[in-house]
Every structure is written in structure tokens, then in C-alpha cells.
């Protein structure tokens, strides 16, 4: 059995020879694909033939390429198209001439000068005339090209016809589209007058000269704090502060002590209550009185470091001196009194305060506007100048920190009066409908507002207003599309022209053979202009 060797397109002649020589079988079937490098020229095939025969082997060729088969057959090598059957061999016959001299024709070579032999003559050694009337080299066989069979042609025509029918049917089902462009009659209306906006109006009304529109008032508050450098200096004294425990060992009734009540140390230093305090009544335990107590903060009466003291076992209350309460009410301190001092410190100047306020006010106003307007409903119209920002309070802490800075806090409020512009348009629509005695639908409009005057006390806004507009009769494109489903072209045109408020229309159906509106709404486009 012959071994079959398959070549690749890129296999060279040397590669093909190597594959054949390495085969164990002496007879080899060599498959050569289309456009193979080894079959590019007859010289390469001759080299292949010579080397294989020199090695004592024989080979046959299989190929689906007619040009390759022709070249191989011309070298006397057996060649076959595996799909169309065995190829014809090179002519190797005995041609009898006059005088009956036999001549063998084999291994034809390409004529060096084509056309040398005369047409129609059969001369040994010069050339042969093929069945088409074209001269060929002596003995050269040109492999016939087989034509397409009638059966295949019928199948191709039948397939093409079916494909065409399928395309037509598919187009009829999936492609039809209708575009309807409608031109609507437009009526122009305008209004010039005064605009008044207030939340006090229960409904919006319009007269010849004044449009009263319902409004809405919005307000918001915010505060902002920052630190600024203090550039002034001052000699200041600070007072020591601390905490004391006040006892009631006098009676069961509570005792009120007002702010600034004095407490005196044994060496005469005075500290005063920072705020009002109520000392609860003492408790009775049989005949024995159990003292009650309360804690309170005190500040030294004078500034200075000498008031920075340690714990004190008993403070007296000078206000009770000369009465029985003097012994029954007293205080002690378990901690220290501290913070008292004298010296220079940084303080803000008037210019520092003015500059800080201007900076912080600008930032507060920006913050108020940014946060406020972002939070407004999208339908609210706010005219330029229809809002007000007020600084309601300021707080300065002039005690500088370790970096020599004081702090400033500003409190602000923003207030505005706004309205819904869609309600303005609708209010004017009612007026125009009453004038025309028709139902109208807005097509487009422009509105210009004059300079704004605003009174937040009365919550009123005033401005001039100029309104220009175009109106049409109500037209619902979606409802119209539903109405025309399935209509023929002439019916659709009649429907367009009979629709109230329509001036003209244009219909485009696609593809060209479509003459009826599709039933699929997604394939119907209605555009009203």
C-alpha cells in the first residue's frame, strides 16, 4: 500500500524531497495543495522527479489544482484530482507518418518560440493542432476544465430564487416603516403688563394690565466660624478660677445664693460664684443634722498670680456674717485655683475685626446661596434680585489662642420669593382661550422680566413682564399613531387633512412597495411641527 504524504503550501522543493526520501515505502502518493510553493514552476517539479527516481522510489501526485495537474502530467508523472477522478496522462503514442516511420512522442518540452508551426498542420517534431484550433507543443497535453453540470446550475438558480423570495417576505414583515410629518396651524399671542407675585394670592389671575401669580417664600439659616490673626497687644490680667463644694449644715431648708456671692479664704482672698446656686437642705438623722452640699465654680475677685492657690479646707461667706447662718454655711476646695496672671497678650484691632467680618460675610453668603439654590424645587423660577441675605448676629472671641488668633462667628439668613413659570404660562393660556374661544396648546414661548422690586415684610415681588408665544390646537402624536394603524395611504392622507388644527402633512412609506400603515406602533413615527 502506498504511503500518502501531505504537503503544506509553504513546503519548499527540498522539504518535499526530504519527506519522500524519509518515507519507508518505495511508492508514495504526494498531495500538493493549491498555490503550493513546490508547484510554482516545472523546474521545481523536475528536480523533485529526478531526486526521487535517483533514490529508487516512485511517486504519484494528487491535487485539486488543475494547473498543478497539468504541470505534473507534462513530466510523465501520474496525477489525479481526488474529487473529480483520475487525470489524463501526457500523450505517449506512436504517430505514423508517411512512409510508416514510427516516432515516439514523450516528455514534451515547452516550445521556445510559440506559433512557429503553421495552423492546421500535423508535422512530427514541429507541433500539433488541439481540438480548439490552437497550436500546442508536440505531445503536450492540456488538461480539460470540466464545466458546471446542469443539475448544479438548477440548484443554484433554485437557491437564489428561494433566497430572493425570503428577502421579499422578510422585508414585507420586518422592514415597513411609516413617517408622518404634520404641520400644525399656529396662533400668535402676546402679553405686556405688571407681574405681582405673593404667597398671599389664593389663585393666579390676569387682567389687561396685571398678572397676579401665586408665589412661595423660602428661607434658610447658616453660621460660619473661622480664626484670624490678632495684630494688637494689650496689658491684661487674668483671674484665677476653680471649683468649691458648698455645705448646708444649718437647717433642712434649701438656701439660694446669687452669682457673685463672695467666698473668703482664711488669709482673706475673695472668690465669687460664677452663677446662681441653690444649696439643698440638710437631712435629719434622729436628733443629729447631716449636712448637704453642692458644687459650684468661682472666680477670683482680682487678677494676678497670687490667687493661684491650692486646696482650702474652709471658705466663709461674708454675707452671712453677724447671723446664725455664718457658721452653718461654708465651703471647701479640694483642687487648686489657677489661671491668674498679669502681662501682655495679643488682641484684635478694629481693622482686624473689620477685615475678618468682610471675609467671613462673603464666604457665608456664598455658602448660603450654594446650599439654598441647589435645594430648591426644579420648577421654581427665581428672578435676579428676588432674594436677600442678612447677617443676623456676630460673635467675637477676642481671647487669642496659642497661635495669636481670635475667632469670629457670623450667623446669616437667606430669603427669597419665587414662582412656577409653568403656572404663569397656564394662566395666560386661559386668557387666550377665552379670547379665541378655542382650546389651545402651547407650542413655544419667550418671556422677559423687568427690574425686580421686593418687600420681604409684606412678602411681595413686583416686576414688568413681556410674554410672546405661539399656540396650536391640542395634538397627541401617540394617540394619532394608534388611530392610523393599518390605514392605506389614501386613508391616512384623508385623516391628516381632516384633523382639527392641521395645516398640512407629509407621509413617507418605506420600502417603496409599502402602501399601508404597519400594525406595529414601533414602526410608526409621527412628528408634529
Percent of the chain residues past pLDDT 70, beyond the cut: 83
* Core vs surface per residue 89-101: b (16+ CB within 10 A) or e: ebbeeeeeeeeee
Residue 448 has pLDDT above 60, yes or no: yes
- Rounded distance, CA 226 to CA 359, Å? 10
Give yes or no for a contact between 394 and 410, defined as CB atoms under 8 angstroms apart. yes
Per-residue pLDDT tens over the stretch 363-373: 999 999 888 88
pTM exceeding the 0.85 threshold for the entire prediction: no
Query: What's the mean pLDDT in 461-478?
Result: 94
Task: State the pLDDT confidence band at 111, using cuts at 50, 70 and 90.
Answer: very low
- Rounded distance, CA 31 to CA 113, Å? 33
Residue 357 has pLDDT above 80, yes or no: yes
Per-residue pLDDT tens over the stretch 162-171: 766 665 555 5
Per-residue confidence (pLDDT) for residue 525, from 0 to 100: 94
Read off the C-alpha cell for 340.
Answer: 491668674
Q: Read off the DSSP letter of residue 335.
A: S
* Mean pLDDT, all residues of the chain: 84
Residue 233 has pLDDT above 50, yes or no: yes
Per-residue confidence (pLDDT) for residue 327, from 0 to 100: 95
Of 186-195, 343-352, 456-465, the range with the lowest mean pLDDT is: 343-352
- From residue 445, give the alpha-carbon distance in Å to each of 239, 448, 462: 72, 10, 21
Name residues whose C-beta falls within 8 Å of residue 256's C-beta, 6 or more positions apart in sequence: 276, 277, 278, 279
Per-residue confidence (pLDDT) for residue 520, from 0 to 100: 92
Per-residue pLDDT tens over the stretch 391-435: 999 999 887 888 889 999 999 999 999 999 999 999 999 999 999
Read off the C-alpha cell for 180.
Answer: 408622518
Per-residue pLDDT tens over the stretch 149-158: 666 666 777 7
- From residue 168, give the alpha-carbon distance in Å to each of 165, 194, 388, 472, 473: 5, 65, 70, 42, 41
Task: Give the rounded distance of the alpha carbon of 442 from its chain centre.
Answer: 33
Percent of the chain residues past pLDDT 90, beyond the cut: 55
Amino acid at each position: 500500500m502506498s504511503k500518502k504524504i501531505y504537503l503544506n503550501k509553504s513546503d519548499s522543493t527540498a522539504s518535499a524531497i526530504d519527506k519522500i526520501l524519509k518515507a519507508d515505502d518505495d511508492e508514495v502518493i504526494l498531495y500538493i495543495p493549491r498555490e503550493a510553493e513546490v508547484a510554482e514552476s516545472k523546474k521545481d517539479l523536475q528536480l523533485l522527479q529526478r531526486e526521487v527516481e535517483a533514490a529508487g522510489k516512485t511517486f504519484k501526485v494528487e491535487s485539486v489544482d488543475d494547473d498543478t495537474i497539468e504541470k505534473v502530467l507534462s513530466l510523465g508523472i501520474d496525477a489525479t484530482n481526488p474529487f473529480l477522478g483520475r487525470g489524463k496522462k501526457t500523450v505517449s503514442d506512436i504517430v505514423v507518418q508517411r512512409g510508416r516511420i514510427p516516432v515516439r512522442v514523450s516528455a514534451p518540452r515547452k516550445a521556445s518560440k510559440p506559433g512557429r508551426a503553421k495552423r492546421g498542420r500535423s508535422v512530427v517534431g514541429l507541433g500539433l493542432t488541439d481540438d480548439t484550433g490552437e497550436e500546442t507543443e508536440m505531445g503536450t497535453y492540456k488538461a480539460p476544465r470540466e464545466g458546471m453540470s446542469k443539475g448544479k446550475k438548477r440548484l443554484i438558480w433554485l437557491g437564489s430564487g428561494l433566497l430572493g423570495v425570503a428577502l421579499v417576505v422578510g422585508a414585507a414583515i420586518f422592514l415597513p416603516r411609516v413617517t408622518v410629518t404634520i404641520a400644525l396651524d399656529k396662533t400668535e399671542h402676546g402679553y405686556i403688563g405688571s407681574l405681582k407675585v405673593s404667597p398671599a394670592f389664593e389663585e393666579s389671575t390676569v387682567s389687561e394690565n396685571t398678572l397676579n401669580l401665586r408665589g412661595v417664600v423660602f428661607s434658610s439659616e447658616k453660621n460660619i466660624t473661622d480664626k484670624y490673626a490678632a495684630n494688637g497687644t494689650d496689658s491684661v490680667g487674668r483671674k484665677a478660677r476653680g471649683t468649691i463644694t458648698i455645705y448646708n449644715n444649718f437647717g433642712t431648708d434649701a438656701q439660694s445664693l446669687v452669682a457673685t456671692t463672695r467666698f473668703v479664704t482664711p488669709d482673706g482672698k475673695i472668690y465669687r460664684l460664677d452663677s446662681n446656686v441653690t444649696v439643698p437642705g440638710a437631712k435629719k438623722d434622729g436628733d443629729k443634722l447631716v449636712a448637704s452640699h453642692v458644687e459650684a465654680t468661682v472666680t477670683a475677685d482680682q487678677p494676678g498670680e497670687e490667687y493661684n492657690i491650692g486646696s482650702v479646707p474652709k471658705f466663709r461667706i461674708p454675707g452671712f456674717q453677724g447671723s446664725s447662718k455664718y457658721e452653718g454655711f461654708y465651703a471647701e476646695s479640694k483642687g487648686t485655683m489657677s489661671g491668674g496672671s498679669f502681662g501682655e497678650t495679643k488682641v484684635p484691632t478694629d481693622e482686624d475685626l473689620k477685615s475678618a467680618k468682610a471675609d467671613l460675610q462673603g464666604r457665608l453668603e456664598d455658602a448660603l446661596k450654594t446650599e439654598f439654590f441647589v435645594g430648591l424645587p426644579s420648577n421654581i423660577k427665581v428672578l435676579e434680585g428676588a432674594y436677600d441675605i442678612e447677617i443676623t448676629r456676630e460673635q467675637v472671641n477676642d481671647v487669642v489662642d496659642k497661635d495669636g488668633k481670635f475667632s469670629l462667628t457670623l450667623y446669616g439668613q437667606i430669603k427669597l420669593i419665587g414662582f412656577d413659570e409653568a403656572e404663569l404660562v397656564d394662566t395666560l393660556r386661559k386668557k387666550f382661550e377665552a379670547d379665541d374661544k378655542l382650546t389651545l396648546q402651547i407650542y413655544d414661548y419667550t418671556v422677559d422680566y423687568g427690574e425686580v422690586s421686593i418687600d420681604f415684610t409684606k412678602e411681595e415681588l413686583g416686576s414688568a413682564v413681556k410674554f410672546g408665544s405661539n399656540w396650536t390646537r391640542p395634538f397627541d402624536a401617540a394617540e394619532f399613531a394608534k388611530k392610523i394603524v393599518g390605514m392605506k395611504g389614501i386613508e391616512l392622507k384623508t385623516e391628516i387633512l381632516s384633523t382639527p388644527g392641521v395645516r398640512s402633512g407629509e407621509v413617507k412609506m418605506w420600502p417603496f412597495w409599502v402602501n399601508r400603515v404597519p400594525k406595529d406602533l414601533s414602526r410608526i413615527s409621527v412628528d408634529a411641527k
